[in-house]
Structure 1
Amino acid sequence: MSERYAPTGHGRREEMPATVRDFIAFLERRFPETKPRPGQSLDEIMFAAGQRSVALQMRAEFEAASNLPEG
């Protein structure tokens, strides 16, 4: 089990991950794939898409780094 530390502010309930792998899982939970809902503004839709895009990019970067040969 990985070590974790409690967040320090802003009323967060979930502990911040201490490892990169756990952080990627945290991003996946925090910013899941969503579909636009009726009544959502274009700004809200684009903001959510940007959040998801960052989560996907972080996962891709981690996976790419994990596959690098050591040396």
Structure 2
Amino acid sequence: MICPKCGSENCNVINETYTSGSDFSASKGCLGALLFGPIGILCGACGEGKQTHNVNYWVCNSCGYKWRR
């Protein structure tokens, strides 16, 4: 791959990972504990989704320019 900014062939692929969402909901856990006892605390993890997104970029080691192919 050739850098579109400086024309160097000294480029690498990097992977950036982004996460969104939460792992545990305290309000759902407390409500579950009141309704179902200790097992209900697990309800805090129900319905919550942690999403992971991966994006690949090329990076020029000469000038530092980053782009997607």
Q: TM-score when scaled to structure 2?
A: 0.28
Structure number with higher strand proportion? 2
Instruction: Indicate the structure whose relative CO is greater, using CA pairs within 8 Å and at least 6 residues apart.
Output: 2
Structure number with higher helix proportion? 1
| Larger of the two Rg values belongs to structure | 2
Q: TM-score when scaled to structure 1?
A: 0.27
